[in-house]
Amino acid sequence: MPEQSRIQLQLRTLRDTINQHNHRYYALDDPDIPDAAYDRLMRELQDLEQQYPQWISADSPTQRVGSAPLDGFSQVTHEVPMLSLDNAFSGQEMDDFDRRLRGRLDRDQPLHYACEPKLDGIAVSLLYRDGVLERGATRGDGAVGEDITSNVRTIPSIPLRLLGDGWPRVLEVRGEIYMPRAGFDAFNEKARQQSEKLFVNPRNAAAGSLRQLDSRVTAQRPLEMCCYGVGLVEAYALPGKHTEILTLLQGWGFRINSEMRVANGMKDCLAYYDYLLAKRASLAYDIDGIVFKVDDIALQQRLGFVSRAPRWAIAHKFPAEEEMTTLLGVDFQVGRTGAITPVARLEPVFVGGVTVSNATLHNSDEILRLGVKINDTVVVRRAGDVIPKVVRVVLDKRPANASKIVFPARCPICESVIERLEGEAVSRCTGGLLCAAQLKEGIKHFASRKAMDIDGLGDKLVEQLVDEGLITSVVDLFSLQVTALVGLERMAEKSAAKLIAALQASKATTLPKFIFALGIREVGEATAVSLAKHFTSLEKIQQASIETLLEVPDVGPIVAQHLHDFFAASHSQQLLAGLLSAGFYWPAIEASKVQPLMGKIYVVSGSLESMGRIEAKERLQQLGAKVAGSVSAKTFCLVAGPGAGSKLTKAQQLGVDVIDETQFLALLKQYE
């Protein structure tokens, strides 16, 4: 073979191999070679192209870095208009939609619907000629958009050349470009550190990134593209189902949504809506609803279009996660550890599926960062079950009577001085348990389900007991008499007797629960379990030095200091003595059962079905294991879920033990 053809073949083979790996990595989330091996292939291609620049092709995977800035975007006329979707806001509207369609089609049986998350990004059209990306365009007004070819070329999940063969001569693929949440957070964090302007949400970040005239800037942004349909297609007979078309596109190198399903009838559609709404907060990207499309293309064609939207599709919107409202005032709440949290009192607003009238403002730095004043119009966000928060101020709407928020110098409950230690964001009341607010919160925590789980001792009752002066510490709970309780709001003799029995019953507990219930700063359930397993007795924890505390798997210097301070304080000693003499007890922990994985190094990779990676890590740490981020010769075992990728390859190369999720769960169970 002549030298020239040999090099060209080598270039072609390298590009094909890299494109295949790109596809597995960016479109399928299923890489099959380690990152380092991929980097080597890229470098090999770059070297070769540097030697033979005359053969650099526009579709080479090296050509994604962006190019010199444009003067402006030129216009693109969409051969097939880019339509929008009708919206439905309730199950009722969805039923109406389905009934309408079946009426038009004169059909009794249920329709099959393709269900897809409605990604919250920017619609894009990608035109491929003979398998090569020729043009990328925004939707614009649906008829005319902007040419953003050099920007879309920098997005790794957009193939520059289609995979496989046998594609249509002309193929227009449509989909959404978006910024995954993790990329958005990282991008904003970097911008914050460099005092640059932040994006308000991932959608704006995606839009802003695509609007760059300099595609080298776009290339730095973590954008992804997911396709949901086709536009112009020439000289090709596409499959008869929408979902089959998308699967075909996937084979050609595009990312399609892994949550796509086919539902049989409206009942299935509504179940899918509930399923994804529950999953919304844990997805890697923002969605604002579900798109339902009649799956059968022949039926789509019979149904046709009304004005600018297809009859055969609808977007069932989720409740908005952000809404505007007015900040009426700010209350300062005192937490269990004295932390002062400014809480925004809001004009009630329906957001994230509930009516919200309070939202957190976190701390004084956050108030400064937001630049918020009382009477301002603010944007409130409530995503999933997360506590609602004020995310920004709408400065355009600032009224004349907007007034400054003054952070108090003294505790609003006990009037002790509020202090803010250097390096801490939180301001605290210095009143300790003399502060009624801290006392109440401490008792509520002690009685809560995950702590002593005292039935019938709810927040309201705790507040009454403290306000009436019936208790001044947790210990006092255990000498309460029926006669003292009767007479409190909603407290008759029977419920009083029940409460006393529940208090009595709570004394039989476990050491981890008891430690957790004490409410020591930064000591959550997992840390309490680790402490109990490591030390096996309360006395040993009480006597532990900072150094010995640091030997416990998830105890760092801050937690160790808090533990040490707590046990050294005389009021804590009184509290412990009081609780023990009230009769608290727990089964002894056998020394042999402690920390069976002590000294062993584990790595967790890929996704697990039964728990997140963080939980898997904590469970291993509780058994004494060290959990590392990468596989090395020192690794004892790799827990590998689907998508474990390069770590799995490495473990196999090094002969490290690999276990799957089932084996991992069996391991945990063995030591439960």
Under the binding rule (CB under 6 A), the answer on residue 114 touching ligand IVH is no
Which residue among 48, 83, 580, 659 contacts ligand IVH (CB under 6 A)?
A: 83
| Angstrom distance (rounded) from CA 266 to CA 289 | 16
Whether 637 contacts 657, CB under 8 Å: yes
Which residues have CB under 8 Å from 592's CB, separation 6+? none
Q: Kindly state the smallest distance separating residue 465's Cβ from ligand IVH, in Å.
A: 53
| Angstrom distance (rounded) from CA 367 to CA 398 | 16
Under the binding rule (CB under 6 A), the answer on residue 148 touching ligand IVH is no
Under the binding rule (CB under 6 A), the answer on residue 119 touching ligand IVH is yes
Which residue among 84, 430, 495, 510 contacts ligand IVH (CB under 6 A)?
A: 84
Q: Which of 118, 373, 389, 647 is catalytic?
A: 118
Half-sphere exposure of 41 (CA within 13 A, CB side): 21
| Angstrom distance (rounded) from CA 65 to CA 171 | 24
Whether 602 contacts 631, CB under 8 Å: no
Considering beta carbons, is residue 123 or 603 the nearer one to ligand IVH?
123
Q: Tell me, residue by residue from 297 to 316, as one string, x for binding to ligand IVH by CB under 6 A and - for no binding.
A: -------------x--x-x-
Name the phi and psi angles at 413, rounded to 5: -100, -50
Instruction: Pick out residues in 212-271 that bind ligand IVH (CB under 6 A).
Output: 228-229
> What is the distance of C-alpha 381 from the center of its chain?
14
Q: How far is CA 118 from CA 45, 145, 204, in A?
A: 37, 21, 16
DSSP secondary structure code for residue 42 in this structure? H
Considering beta carbons, is residue 226 or 555 the nearer one to ligand IVH?
226
| Angstrom distance (rounded) from CA 262 to CA 272 | 10
Which of 670, 671, 529 lies closest to 593, judged by CA?
671
Catalytic residue flag (residue 279)? no
Residue closest to ligand IVH (Cβ): 123
| Angstrom distance (rounded) from CA 246 to CA 541 | 59
Considering beta carbons, is residue 137 or 405 the nearer one to ligand IVH?
137
Which residues have CB under 8 Å from 607's CB, separation 6+? 613, 641, 642, 643
Part in contact with ligand IVH (CB under 6 A); list of ranges 80-88, 148-156, 198-206, 349-357: 80-88
Part in contact with ligand IVH (CB under 6 A); list of ranges 68-76, 113-121, 193-201, 386-394: 113-121
Name the phi and psi angles at 469, rounded to 5: 75, 20
Q: Kindly state the smallest distance separating residue 185's Cβ from ligand IVH, in Å.
A: 21
Q: Kindly state the smallest distance separating residue 135's Cβ from ligand IVH, in Å.
A: 18
Tokens of 617: 């890590």
Q: Kindly state the smallest distance separating residue 386's Cβ from ligand IVH, in Å.
A: 23
Q: Kindly state the smallest distance separating residue 70's Cβ from ligand IVH, in Å.
A: 23
Which residue among 139, 153, 241, 650 contacts ligand IVH (CB under 6 A)?
A: 139
Instruction: Pick out residues in 166-185 that bind ligand IVH (CB under 6 A).
Output: 176
β-strands 87-88, 313-317: how paired?
A: parallel
β-strands 354-360, 340-351: how paired?
A: antiparallel
Part in contact with ligand IVH (CB under 6 A); list of ranges 88-96, 117-125, 190-198, 534-542: 117-125
| Angstrom distance (rounded) from CA 643 to CA 11 | 29
Considering beta carbons, is residue 1 or 306 the nearer one to ligand IVH?
306
Considering beta carbons, is residue 292 or 602 the nearer one to ligand IVH?
292
Considering beta carbons, is residue 111 or 123 the nearer one to ligand IVH?
123
Part in contact with ligand IVH (CB under 6 A); list of ranges 116-124, 348-356, 390-398, 619-627: 116-124
In the beta sheet, which residues pair with residue 344?
Answer: 330, 359
Interacting residues toward ligand IVH by CB under 6 A: 83-85, 116, 118-119, 123, 139, 176, 228-229, 291, 310, 313, 315
Give me the active site residues, please: 118
